[in-house]
Amino acid sequence: MARKKRIKIYSSNGKKALLLSPEEITIVKNDPSYEKNYEIEFNKGKQAFEVRNYYAIGFWKDLLFVLIGAFLSTIAIDYFISITGNAGLFPGGLGAIARFLSIIGANNITISASTLYFIVYFIMNIPLVIFGFIKIGWKFSTLTLIYSIISIFFDLILQNIPYINPNEFSLLIDYNLISSLPGAWGAIIWIFAFAIFGGMINGFSYSITYKGNASTGGSDWVTYYYSKKLNKDIGSLNIKINIFILFIVICLNTIILKTQHIDQTIKLSAIYNEYNSWNELINSDLGKALDPILSAEDKVSIDLFNSWKNLKSGNWNNEDWFNISKYISSSSEYDSYYTSTLVWKMKFKWIIGPSLFASLTLIITQGLTVNRLYPKNKILNLFISTNKINEVQQYLFSVGYTNNIFIWRTVASKKNAWNDQEQDLIMISMPLLYFNKIEDYLIKIDEDMIINIIGSKAVKGKNFSYTFDNELREKALTEEFMNNGKLMKKIESNTIIKTHKKMKKNGVSIQNEV
């Protein structure tokens, strides 16, 4: 009797093998569990294939963008935002909440407010990271998670470098020093300067991070998800939400703000308008605290002494009272003598004062910088002259392009050419950002290709897609994966081994392992 031909089946790691005849392999494949096992192995293999392709082609470039973006964002937070103190600048959205909580926490634990900001921001992003992995995708979510973690490490490094850490080294000017000096407008002018430069650096950071197929976290998770799902830009809604959160946070921060952190000009305005007569002033706790000091010629300047003397004599005038108000507002010595009504007036003025408008300046500058460097809504019309029309179409569909492709059969005529040549002309429309990603691959299809690029002022109509279709990319990836005979053979072998093991466990013996 002739011996049956047997086939040795290896697992993907090459360690486990079965020796089965073709008939036995057929029995295994007909088992009810085979189809389910095959689906599991197929999905596992396809995901590994996608990961390998991504890490081989784009991951390191994206990671470099994310690292640069995280470093610049850390510079913006440490040297331009957190340095402005408890009553200073706030970023928009979730960052504003993180900054507020870091201010509260820094008062109770020995850690810098900027370091605590990055830690709190990371913790607040954890639920959104989970949402991202489920709803958006592993590449975007992984890189965004890396951004958040790396930002913490960059901050810890900067905080511990001698001489150039934010506490010892100042960019532009020492804001803590300038804000503590008596002066009407010094700190206010500089907080707007910090807002502009901080916004520009943050905008540059965000743009680079976006180009790395990641985000900075926070509301970007939800914005990215819904812009993909609804196929439209909801950036304007995101800006409104960020500004609303900013306003609420500044209100909450103002409630807990100590009067010593309120700017001198705000104090001056509130104090100057609070009292209108000598009797009203001298009967208050503030007036009683001032009188022994300002009545002694040897304790204050001659101008202050004379101004107080004039007010005390019943000659109430705005000039003398303004001099006294400036003296009071320039020192925190009298903060405890303010009435609660006066304190709330100061805080109300502060809510609609420098902190809010400087923070809005920060957000606007940041947004303008992002729009300039990362023009996600700029549309290009591409006229492509090529002899490989089918390959171009196939590539466009494989990367998820879903808009119309217009094709003309043309004749190309060139000077000094022997014959006119037939050539295809394709017109497509897509966002600039997507073209930047596919340009190099597109040109490689046809070395003689000519691409004429024309900017589009606007696109009207609901059927135009501003994004590439993930399903089409997934389909193209699946086709490429299935055309790889070696990988498909591994999946089949793994499935046979897995099914055979289960059959053996259930008492169905096919063949012993070798």
Q: What is d(CA 162, CA 291) in angstroms, rounded to the nearest whole number?
A: 47
Tell me the per-residue pLDDT of 328-379, one tens digit each, with 9 for 90 and over: 888 888 888 888 899 888 888 877 778 888 999 999 898 888 878 877 667 8
Cβ neighbours of 513 (radius 10 Å): 11
179 Cβ neighbours under 8 A, 6+ residues apart: 84, 85, 186, 187, 190, 263
Per-residue pLDDT of the chain (514 residues; tens, 9 = 90+): 445 566 777 666 666 677 777 787 788 778 888 888 888 887 777 777 766 665 556 678 888 999 999 999 999 998 888 888 887 889 888 888 999 888 888 777 777 788 888 999 999 999 988 988 888 777 788 889 999 999 999 999 988 888 888 877 777 677 666 666 655 456 778 889 899 999 999 999 988 998 888 888 887 787 777 766 665 555 566 677 788 888 898 888 888 888 877 878 888 888 988 888 888 888 889 888 888 888 887 888 888 888 888 888 888 888 889 988 888 888 888 888 888 899 888 888 877 778 888 999 999 898 888 878 877 667 888 888 888 888 888 888 877 788 888 888 776 666 554 555 667 788 888 887 777 777 777 888 888 888 888 887 777 777 777 676 655 556 666 666 677 777 778 878 888 878 877 887 777 666 544 4
Looking at residue 514, what is its pLDDT?
44
Looking at residue 243, what is its pLDDT?
85
Tell me the per-residue pLDDT of 275-310, one tens digit each, with 9 for 90 and over: 888 888 888 898 888 888 888 878 888 888 888 888
**DSSP label at residue 3:** P
**DSSP label at residue 2:** P
Structure tokens at 186: 């010094």
Q: What is d(CA 425, CA 504) in angstroms, rounded to the nearest whole number?
A: 61
- Nearest Cα neighbor of 218 from 131, 115, 137 is 131
Give the relative orientation of helices 354-373 and 186-211 as an angle to the nearest 10 degrees: 30
Q: What is d(CA 181, CA 190) in angstroms, rounded to the nearest whole number?
A: 13
- Nearest Cα neighbor of 451 from 436, 463, 462, 469 is 436
Looking at residue 196, what is its pLDDT?
93
Looking at residue 329, what is its pLDDT?
85
- Nearest Cα neighbor of 287 from 305, 312, 317 is 312
Looking at residue 198, what is its pLDDT?
92
Q: What is d(CA 311, CA 294) in angstroms, rounded to the nearest whole number?
A: 11
Domains of the chain by start residue, with CATH: 60-258+355-373 (no CATH), 264-350 (no CATH), 379-465 (3.30.70.120)
Q: Is 137 left (phi over 0), alpha (psi -120 to 50) or beta?
A: left
Structure tokens at 359: 């923070």
DSSP states along 278-326: HHHHHTSHHHHHHHHHHT-TTTS-HHHHHHHHHHHTT---HHHHHHHHH
Instruction: Return the exposure string of 99-120: e unless at least 16 CB atoms fall within 10 Å of the residue's CB, then b.
Output: bbbbbeebeeeeebbbbbbbbb
* pTM of the predicted model as reported, rounded to 2 decimal places: 0.71
Are the C-beta atoms of residues 209 and 216 closer than 8 Å to each other?
yes
Structure tokens at 446: 């046809």
Instruction: Return the exposure string of 289-323: e unless at least 16 CB atoms fall within 10 Å of the residue's CB, then b.
Output: ebeeebeeeeebeeebbebbebbbeeebeeebbeb
CA 150 from centroid of its chain's CA atoms: 13
Rounding to the nearest 10 degrees, give the CA dihedral for residues 432, 68, 233, 460: -10
- Nearest Cα neighbor of 286 from 246, 223, 329, 318 is 329
Where are the alpha helices (H) located in 412-468, listed in sequence order? 432-445
Torsional sign, CA 275, 278, 280, 285: positive
Q: What are the strands of the beta sheet with 406-412, ordered from one edge? A: 406-412, 421-431, 379-386, 450-456
